[in-house]
Amino acid sequence: MFLKRPVPSTKESLVDKANIIELIQFERFCRDNAQWEEMKKCFTADSKVTVSWFQGTGVEFVDASSKMKSYAPHKLNNTLVWINDNKAVSLTMATIQCRSEISGQPVELQSDVKLLYRTEKIDGTWYVVSIDGIYEKDALVPVYPNNDIVVPMEEISKFRTSYANLSYTFSIQGYEIDQSLPGIDAPETVTKLYNEAEIWLNK
């Protein structure tokens, strides 16, 4: 079912897909606009979030996000949704845009990711059960073209190529970055996550 071509939608499935996409967009909007209490309402009590800089529950993720010093908004592109009764798995294509400083110069991190959401409808309302990041590629560029930024390659090379710049930028801010996450430079990790999502969806 997951990653298969969608079957023709019914009126009910179209409504569910619209509600799921709106939930995902609202969760990210809250994350980017400091709407922390509303963001918490998007998650189930036992939810789980696994991204580069954080692993824990949804509520813990909200609290940790509220304490981040860097502004890191998300630009969302397409979202695909696969539904099985009251469960759904979604893939949202996104770019993380993080503004920070290196050696006193403003830099812009752009990290392309897929966000895999598991959601569940409880008492008629959809909630986020889990979020997993799948990392593709990233870039770190000066905000102003005439600014020189020197990042030692021996530092960047410590990290996975699919999210090396993100890992470097966040690590110098004091975050411990998990280097075992799904990414296109390690396709077996993506396959494993997809298989787990398929099993959960059909369970």
Give residue-wise pLDDT tens across range 26-67.
Answer: 999 999 999 999 999 999 999 999 999 999 999 999 999 999
pLDDT band with cut points at 50, 70 and 90 for residue 198? very high
Give the global pTM. 0.95
Q: State the average pLDDT for the chain.
A: 95
User: What span, in angstroms and rounded, lies between the C-alpha atoms of 81 and 79?
Assistant: 7
With contact defined as beta carbons under 8 Å apart, do 51 and 170 qualify? no
Per cent of the chain over pLDDT 70 is 100
Query: What mean pLDDT comes out for the span 93-115?
Result: 93
pLDDT above 90 (res 195): yes
Predicted local confidence at residue 150, as pLDDT: 84
Report how far apart, in Å, the C-alpha atoms of 56 and of each of 45, 110, 148, 202 are.
12, 24, 37, 24
Q: Which CATH number fits domain 11-202: 3.10.450.50, 3.90.1640.20, 3.40.50.300, 1.20.1270.360?
A: 3.10.450.50
| Domain range list for the chain | 11-202
Per cent of the chain over pLDDT 90 is 85
Predicted local confidence at residue 168, as pLDDT: 95
pLDDT band with cut points at 50, 70 and 90 for residue 156? very high
pLDDT above 90 (res 181): yes
Predicted local confidence at residue 149, as pLDDT: 84
- In one-letter notation, the amino acid at residue 59 is V
Predicted local confidence at residue 145, as pLDDT: 84
Predicted local confidence at residue 71, as pLDDT: 80
User: What span, in angstroms and rounded, lies between the C-alpha atoms of 110 and 186?
Assistant: 20
Secondary structure of the chain in HEC code, one letter for each residue: CCCCCCCCCCHHHHHHHHHHHHHHHHHHHHHHCCCHHHHHCCEEEEEEEEECCEEECHHHHHHHHHCCCCECCEEEEEEEEEEECCEEEEEEEEEEEEEEEECCEEEEEEEEEEEEEEEEEECCEEEEEEEEEEEEEEEEEECCCCCCCCCCHHHHCCCCHHHHHHHHHHHCCCCCCCCCCCECCEHHHHHHHHHHHHHHHHC
Higher pLDDT, 7 or 122: 122
Query: What mean pLDDT comes out for the span 96-114?
Result: 92
